Structure 1
Amino acid sequence: MQSIRQRGFTLIKVMLLSSVASVVVFAAFKDTLVQERLSGNYQKDLNARLLAEKGVIERGQALKAALTNNPNLTLEQAVQQIGAGLGSGELDGTSFDAQLSVNGDEVAIASLGQRYDDQAQARMISYFKYTPPERSSVFQNAVTGCKGVNLAGSGLVDSYDSTQGSYEETRTSNGDVNTVIGDADVVLNGHSPIMGDVKASGILYLKGSSPVVGTVQSNTGIDISAGSGVRVDGDVLTQGFVKHNGGQITGILRANGDVTMKWGAEILNQNRAELDIMYGGSGSFQSSHVQDGLHYSADRFNVNPEVEAVRVYDPSSPDYDPNDPDKECDPLALPLNMSSVIDSNNSYADFSVGAQTDYVFTPAEGRYIRGGSSTWSSSPADIYLFQHLTQNHGQGNGSSEYVFGMKNMKLTSDGTITIEGGDVIWLVDGDLKMTGHTSITIKAGSSLAIFVTGKVDFGASAVVVTEREGLTDSGFPSLSIFSSYSGQNGVTMRGASSMYAVVYAPVTSIAMRGSGQFYGTIRGATIDATGGSGVHFDEALKNFNLGNGGVTTPAKLEFMGWRFESGEDYQAPDEEEE
């Protein structure tokens, strides 16, 4: 009987232990379930965060790509182009929605990452600083003579800004003169003041009687002829020699080579730099050449200075070749690509306007308004230089340019041509010549762009009138001439009347023989000005958006910081406070 009772108690103990174990197991199951749910929620939150980061990364990369592919887009235009970003993750039920906003130069990318819709949400906001692209326009100077400049006339070289007003209202001293190719000299041999810097890759000769109001700089040497008064109203900098034969330098002199100063030559050092002069070679001075009682021949002055070289090449040139510096005059690679603009196998015919004949060109057609009756329709083309410009032509095909092709263009006697109604483009596979009392009038808001393979000659009595100077609303200059001619005197201007133009003739010489004033900019292999024509650089032309748009350094997006918000903090874009 006792044995039976013992066995019964054992059974009860086993049942009690089993019950306790069951309670423990169920408690462990519950804890495990809670932990599993916590882990799942954490995993969902982590997935939401990763999706939010993915949205930021994808939108940031898309924005960078848009700015790189088209550097002429503004930040706002790039953001508008790529729009919002909607996407999904690799797991089912994962998605993101990235929105961009702009505030000045700051870009905010707000990305909402979600897992199973509202079960897990995370919003990441990243901030980027936008740095616009750096530009170096082809048209930075009044006069660019790649292989040399000879200014022997009596006209003033200076600058103004047609976007701010007339020449008389906005005159400035940025009428720079420079050369591009190594050992290209600049000779200033007239009575024309230069209101701007002069940079020569070769020797700079100052032989005229008028001053240079700016810095003069040379890689080879600077030769200042005998004279009196101010010769350089600025600094004299060279990696070579200096011969200072007379007159005043109002700034300082720095030369890596030899320096010779004659009687009557002075360095005024008006900005009170520590030393009037520094030179790395030998020095030849007169007894009057002292600073603070110390002669210029003293060791204190005979120290090789650091002089920046005149830049003699353009690495951004599409045709850049360091072994062929002649190409460096042509950053637009015009002769190389002229065949894509004017087909050498074309069937163009000569075009002329003669005595008692008036002709009108619009972008769509050309027609006689006196002396004839035929009309001429333009045809579509693709001009590589205008890839970032939209011609105002009024045609249905906005992506193409509309052009008039001719073999030779001649305007004679008292014939006239009027340009109106938008941006007109001529392709001249030959010479362009104006003789007699002829005129071309470009109406306000219109422009004329001329591509020419032969010579351009504006006669002494020829007149080119631009009713409004500068760039049109579509970005074209009132008159622009692009020449691929490679012989001598490819562009000659003889007129006595004023003229506004962009002249780009990188492989031929430009001769200025007239007495009229020239407004705009000139770039040629060599520039030879012997008339009384002044050159007045229109600084608005720095914004003439040709080729790659002048971009030397692309736009940048710099990461500034980020923060996360929980899904509870998120508001849809249309619910956010203004």
Structure 2
Amino acid sequence: MNKRAFNLPKNHQGFALITVLVISFLGSLIVFDTIQENLNQERMAGNYSKELNARLQAENGLAEAYNMLSADSTLSTDDMMTQLNSAQNDAGGYHHNIDAWLDSDIREVNSSGFHYDGTYAMRGSFSLASSSGNTVFTGAITTCDGATLGGSGTIDSYDSSEGAYDSSNPGNNGDVSVLNEDASGLDLSGSSPIDGNVSINGDLTMSGSASISGDAHVSGNIDLGSSGSIDGNAQATGNVTNSYSSTTMDSISANGDVTILNSYDNPISYSGELNYPSYGSVSNATYYDTDQVSAVGTEPCDVLDLASEFANTTDGVGSLSSTTPTDYSFSYWPYTDYVFTDAGLESYNKSTGTTDSFDTETATIDFLGEDTEVYVMSIDNFQNGNTITIESGNNVTIYLSGNTSIEDKIYVEDGATLTIITEDTFTTTADGGVYALDSDGNTATSAVNSDGDNSFILYSGYDSEGDNSDYGITLSGSTDMFLTAYAPNAAMNVTASGDIYGSLRTDYLNVTGGAGVHFDEQITNTTIGDSDSSSSTPTITRWF
């Protein structure tokens, strides 16, 4: 059978050719449109990255200004300008100019950050006015040499002027600071969250599931371990290693390497190497050939110069070492309530109902710039169901001679204060501790009484030695306690299950129990020695 070729008519052949050309043209338009859209998206992403990095540089500029004013608040405008701008760099830095003083206490600093052709201008207003309150206790935890937080309690804050602490709605000013330039840093090995910022000299190491809700600024390395997280910005003068699970950081900045263990889409700036696995991705990283992260500011650890108070053997605390203390022993029977009244120390015998007065050794010393009457006592092994009460209207200062162990309760009524000064160890166990009371005699909700004073302050002159395990203060009680502690040379060990309401300032802090530290923000308004009257520490009142 013969086969015959099938040919389209010529007019049909032309129509097919036109159809192919039209389809090809439309396809080309779609391709070009897609390419154009991709280019636009790349430009937008690039501009966004430049703006974010420029803003970061502007913020670094304000941080430099703050650190400089903290170090020397008397700097002239010209000197400050010279020092600030000498720290800028051309690969993505910042530039300052300073407006004239708006008045005698306010200075405004303009910080212009830039990243390639991206720019961002920011203005910060700094107040240098002496203000009421203190700058000694401004966060939950301040240490000189470092801290190990391995417990399960929460580090956060609350404002007691607005009511009692509410664990379901805590404040986010539970800041943690490590001050010394050569400090060991912060080791978070537990599961407790920090609701606040951390400012650390030394490394920040996280090996548990702990989290930081704010920013982390570290003069050293940041290692989030396998499951640690930082919700704010992570800035390190060294390296930053992200965790497998943490993808919520606002940004990462490192003068060294950045290592991502999974994927990360937020801005990264680095001056070392960028490392991430083949299955991961990084979409917004920028390399700088100069450092972008400024060092964490340092300050003297013993800002009150407590060491000199203990060294003053003429009319200071040091003179009490030669004073024979009144020694109290506490028996199982009869149970006795001891009360500090306007007349001095009295005792109430629960068995007989009789009241007796005690002739207690006292002395007047110069302490933190004030003439202070001090009870010189030894109350080691305070236990067996006895109590001590500071009656309302009395501001009692006790110098504790020798090591002190408290297993029973000390009550501080509203309108009263208790200040304990010791150079030896101070320990609470079992139900022992100091408890603030409100005007109705119930447990208070604040570390600050209705007169605006700290209910209980502990000043420790203990000088820890060795590897931070020589503890000057040990808290192992099972009930909550209100405590403002100042121990710049002492290591503190917290194994308690009860919470601490107040603020801690120590040389080193170790937490292994379930205790949380809840910073009462009203403490910043209280008087600590004479530190409140001469403070000129800068405060950032606004930035825009």
TM over 0.5: yes
2:330 maps to 1:353: yes
2:268 aligns with one of 263, 277, 282: 277
Residue identity in the other structure for 2:309: N
Contact 1:183 1:203 (C-alpha < 8 Å) held by counterparts:
no
Deviation (angstroms), 1:442:
1.3
2:460 aligns with one of 450, 462, 483: 483
Residue identity in the other structure for 1:286: P
Provide the residue aligned with 1:426 in structure 2.
398
Contact 2:152 2:514 (C-alpha < 8 Å) held by counterparts:
yes
Contact 1:358 1:370 (C-alpha < 8 Å) held by counterparts:
yes
Offset from partner CA, 1:418-471 (integer Å, 9 cap, x none): 111321111112222113xx2111112211110011110101232432113233
Provide the residue aligned with 2:245 in structure 1.
247
Decide which moves more: 406-415 or 361-370: 406-415
Q: Determine helix, strand or coil for the equivalent of 1:154.
A: coil
Decide which moves more: 146-155 or 535-544: 535-544
For residues 221 and 284 of structure 1, the distance between their equivalents in structure 2, rounded to whole angstroms, comes to 15
Deviation (angstroms), 1:342:
4.7
Distance 1:433 1:360, change over 3 A: same
Residue identity in the other structure for 1:307: V
Residue identity in the other structure for 1:251: D
Contact 2:360 2:377 (C-alpha < 8 Å) held by counterparts:
no
Residue identity in the other structure for 2:129: P
Deviation (angstroms), 1:474:
5.1
Q: Determine helix, strand or coil for the equivalent of 2:505.
A: strand
Deviation (angstroms), 1:283:
2.0
Offset from partner CA, 1:371-409 (integer Å, 9 cap, x none): 67342367462443264xxxxxxxxxxxx4332111454
**Percent identical:** 30
For residues 301 and 417 of structure 1, the distance between their equivalents in structure 2, rounded to whole angstroms, comes to 62
Contact 1:460 1:496 (C-alpha < 8 Å) held by counterparts:
yes
Q: Determine helix, strand or coil for the equivalent of 2:527.
A: coil
Show structure 1 runs of 5+ residues with no match: 1-104, 107-129, 270-275, 315-327, 388-399, 556-578
Contact 1:176 1:197 (C-alpha < 8 Å) held by counterparts:
yes
Provide the residue aligned with 1:114 in structure 2.
none
1:455 aligns with one of 425, 441, 461: 425
Provide the residue aligned with 1:337 in structure 2.
309
Distance 1:255 1:416, change over 3 A: same
Distance 1:363 1:241, change over 3 A: farther
Residue identity in the other structure for 1:480: I
Offset from partner CA, 1:206-225 (integer Å, 9 cap, x none): 22213210111210111110
Contact 1:363 1:378 (C-alpha < 8 Å) held by counterparts:
no
2:347 maps to 1:368: yes
Provide the residue aligned with 2:525 in structure 1.
543
Distance 1:478 1:354, change over 3 A: farther
Deviation (angstroms), 1:174:
0.6
1:417 aligns with one of 378, 388, 391: 388
Provide the residue aligned with 1:405 in structure 2.
376
TM-score, normalised via structure 2 length: 0.66
For residues 268 and 162 of structure 1, the distance between their equivalents in structure 2, rounded to whole angstroms, comes to 39
Residue identity in the other structure for 1:301: Y
Over the residues paired in the alignment, what is the CA RMSD in angstroms? 2.7
TM-score, normalised via structure 1 length: 0.62
For residues 475 and 379 of structure 1, the distance between their equivalents in structure 2, rounded to whole angstroms, comes to 26
Deviation (angstroms), 1:232:
0.8
Q: Determine helix, strand or coil for the equivalent of 1:331.
A: coil
For residues 192 and 293 of structure 2, the distance between their equivalents in structure 1, rounded to whole angstroms, comes to 27
Residue identity in the other structure for 2:165: Y
Q: Determine helix, strand or coil for the equivalent of 2:375.
A: strand
Deviation (angstroms), 1:508:
1.2
For residues 505 and 351 of structure 1, the distance between their equivalents in structure 2, rounded to whole angstroms, comes to 25
Decide which moves more: 366-375 or 233-242: 366-375
Contact 1:342 1:427 (C-alpha < 8 Å) held by counterparts:
no
2:179 maps to 1:173: no
Show structure 2 runs of 5+ residues with no match: 1-102, 105-126, 438-443, 465-469, 539-544
For residues 349 and 366 of structure 1, the distance between their equivalents in structure 2, rounded to whole angstroms, comes to 11
Provide the residue aligned with 1:226 in structure 2.
226
1:505 aligns with one of 476, 487, 490: 487
Provide the residue aligned with 1:206 in structure 2.
206
Provide the residue aligned with 1:307 in structure 2.
293
For residues 211 and 491 of structure 2, the distance between their equivalents in structure 1, rounded to whole angstroms, comes to 26
Deviation (angstroms), 1:302:
4.3
For residues 375 and 348 of structure 2, the distance between their equivalents in structure 1, rounded to whole angstroms, comes to 18
1:520 aligns with one of 502, 513, 520: 502
Offset from partner CA, 1:481-508 (integer Å, 9 cap, x none): 0000113111000011000110111111
For residues 341 and 256 of structure 2, the distance between their equivalents in structure 1, rounded to whole angstroms, comes to 58
Provide the residue aligned with 1:66 in structure 2.
none
2:137 maps to 1:132: no
Q: Determine helix, strand or coil for the equivalent of 2:161.
A: coil
Deviation (angstroms), 1:331:
0.9
Deviation (angstroms), 1:526:
0.6
Provide the residue aligned with 2:216 in structure 1.
216
Distance 1:378 1:150, change over 3 A: same
Provide the residue aligned with 1:381 in structure 2.
364
Residue identity in the other structure for 1:341: V
Contact 2:344 2:357 (C-alpha < 8 Å) held by counterparts:
no
For residues 179 and 343 of structure 2, the distance between their equivalents in structure 1, rounded to whole angstroms, comes to 39
Contact 2:128 2:536 (C-alpha < 8 Å) held by counterparts:
no
For residues 384 and 204 of structure 1, the distance between their equivalents in structure 2, rounded to whole angstroms, comes to 36
Residue identity in the other structure for 1:207: S
For residues 277 and 291 of structure 1, the distance between their equivalents in structure 2, rounded to whole angstroms, comes to 9
1:445 aligns with one of 407, 410, 415: 415
